Amino acid sequence: MSIGFAVPQRLAALLEETAPLAERFVAAGHRLFLVGGSVRDALTGRHGAAPDLDFTTDALPEQIEGVLTGWADVVWDQGRRFGTIGAKRFGRSYEITTHRAEAYFPDSRKPSVVFATDVEADLSRRDFTINAMALKLGSSRSDAELIDPFAGAVDLAMGRLRTPLDPEVSFGDDPLRMLRAARFIAGFGLKPGDDLVGAIREMRGRLQIVSPERIRSELDKLLVVDAPAPGLWFLVETGLAEEFLPELPALALTQDPIHRHKDVLAHTIAVVAKTSPHKVLRLAALLHDIGKPKTRAIGKHGVSFHHHDVVGARMARDRMRALHYPNEEIAAVSRLVELHLRFHGYGEEWTDSAVRRYVRDAGGLLAELNELTRCDCTTRNRARAAELARRMDLLEERVAALRQAEELDALRPDLDGVAIMSRLGIGPGPVVGAARTFLLELRIERGPLGAEEAGCELDAWWAAQEPESSPRVSGGP
């Protein structure tokens, strides 16, 4: 039996927007329900970018497609076998899915879809009660009804995270929900029940049947919530992180009473929380110290982690590849991990060439590197923190001054490849690359030289090369 309630006024905007679509379904003899995050967020008063709208209906996929034809600007059916038909109208995306129940089987990475005949069965198979609410749409606003059979609205108000059915059933249907729990704990400030936590500890191995792409996507969503720390701690404390990111719990290094050092796990989570909610930056913060367990050494001066930046960059690449991250994101994150200690050698004695190298090595990641460096300071020593901030301010001022004077963001040799070949009388080949490298190093060391001075330096460099490695093009100067 449907458990419905009067629609709160704050859902009025959703009702108005969805009315034209609802009228078409009702006219065709079908029921239409708005479900998912748009209902939940409207109840909590969250206002962000206009989300895509998700619906469920008793109509079958071919019937959904028929209703949308002539109304939507575009219709697509890539999700047909899962009961989903997508559409776009006036730039807004819609996904409409036949009521369903889905479950994973022990060795399957994809759900087996079974269509259901009523909305309550569909809602019962959703991940958490706060997402198991539906807004029943009618031909008029007065026909609308909030369907909340599992008290999701109450859980939102009380700050509870529960599953509609027993957690074992919900996580058995889709093991990714165990990871998703971390995002809702962090994003909505919810407290999980003991039964939910116990089920995850018992069932965490089931995450292995979920595709790396889905795991990656859910991790990304957790990392960019405003305050990700509670979710990250949840992953560690339930053992879930061991299944897809074992480098994170490995940061909980055993302390001994003599050689103490900062709690690397707590430090890492604090750094993530301090950074801006941008995916690449927060991934770099999450992984910046993962090389420490492998490089930890105890000497006469205490604990050290020499070269953990280089080791960590390699480990970051390996882990991100395992999670099927795009190559450009792997390159960016691993570069930030590799460079995150570079600033700590900075002092006012740095020459302009040293500042240029810092900028050149950071490339398009300079802003992210500087923010990661600032956030990496989690010391409680106010004087030390203030000194680090002062030095970073000074470095950024010097970068700004050089940028204004030298077009620092576009560091390149004073002569391009064509000019090099013309001056040396050579054709394309590795020698041109070597010449460009020489001129770039000169540019970093001395600043802009101009074409004529750079040409003279290139002549001298060329004259010093071994004759056999300096072939000239016939007819060259």
Structure confidence at residue 89 (pLDDT)? 92
Average predicted confidence (pLDDT) for the chain: 86
Q: Which two tokens stand for residue 222?
A: 């957790």
Structure tokens at 185: 């704990």
Q: Take residue 132 and report the two structure tokens written for it.
A: 């198991």
Under a CB-based contact definition with an 8 Å cutoff, are residues 71 and 36 in contact? no
DSSP reduced 3-state for 46: coil
Interval 96-134: pLDDT, tens: 999 987 655 666 656 667 787 789 989 999 999 999 999
Residue-level pLDDT at 407: 62
**Residue 83 region, left (φ>0) first, then alpha (ψ -120 to 50), else beta?**
left
The per-residue pLDDT string of the chain (477 residues; one tens digit each, 9 = 90 and over) reads 455 556 666 777 788 888 899 999 999 999 999 998 889 988 887 765 556 799 999 999 999 999 999 999 999 998 898 899 999 998 889 999 999 876 556 666 566 677 877 899 899 999 999 999 999 998 766 778 899 999 999 999 999 999 999 999 999 989 999 999 999 999 999 999 999 999 999 999 999 999 999 999 999 999 999 999 999 999 999 999 999 999 999 998 755 444 445 689 999 999 999 999 999 999 999 999 999 989 888 777 677 788 899 999 999 999 999 999 999 999 999 999 999 998 887 777 788 888 888 888 898 899 999 999 999 988 878 888 898 888 889 888 988 888 776 666 567 788 888 888 888 888 888 888 888 888 888 877 777 888 888 888 888 888 888 655 555 544 444
DSSP for 41-76, written as a single string: HHHHT---SPPPEEEEESS-HHHHHHHHTTTSSEEE
What are the DSSP E strand ranges found in 7-124?
32-35, 53-57, 74-76, 84-89, 92-98, 100-103, 112-115
* Contact assessment for residue 268 and residue 305, using Cβ atoms and an 8 Å cutoff: no
Cβ atoms < 10 Å from Cβ of 27: 10
Total-model pTM: 0.81
Between the alpha carbon of residue 66 and those of residues 30, 58, 82, 94, the distances in Å are: 12, 14, 17, 15
Q: What is the pLDDT of residue 409?
A: 59
The per-residue pLDDT for 257 is 43
pLDDT in tens, 368-419: 999 999 999 888 788 888 988 888 898 889 888 887 766 665 677 888 888 8
Q: Are residues 123 and 164 in contact, defined by beta-carbon separation less than 8 angstroms?
A: yes
Q: Are 156 and 43 in contact (CB under 8 A)?
A: yes
DSSP SS3 for 193: coil
Please answer whether residues 275 and 282 qualify as being in contact, where contact means their C-beta atoms are separated by less than 8 angstroms.
yes
Q: What phi-psi label fits residue 70: left (phi over 0), alpha (psi between -120 and 50 degrees) or beta?
A: left
Largest separation between any pair of C-alpha atoms in the chain: 92
pLDDT (0 to 100) of residue 312? 95
- The pair of three-digit structure tokens given for residue 111, joined into one six-digit string: 């759900």
CATH number attached to the domain at 4-158? 3.30.460.10
Q: Exposure of 435 by Cβ count < 10 A (0-12 exposed, 13-18 middle, 19+ buried)?
A: buried
Q: What does the alpha-carbon distance between residue 374 and residue 194 come to, in Å, rounded to a whole number?
A: 37
pLDDT at 474: 42
Strands 145-147 and 191-192: unpaired
Torsion angle defined by CA atoms of residues 361, 364, 367 and 372, in that order, rounded to the nearest 10 degrees: -60
Burial code (b: 16+ CB inside 10 Å, e: under 16) for 92-119 equals: ebbbbbbbbebebeeeeeebebebbeeb
The per-residue pLDDT for range 152-185, each reduced to its tens digit, is 999 999 999 999 999 999 999 899 999 999 999 9
Domain ranges across the chain? 4-158, 412-469
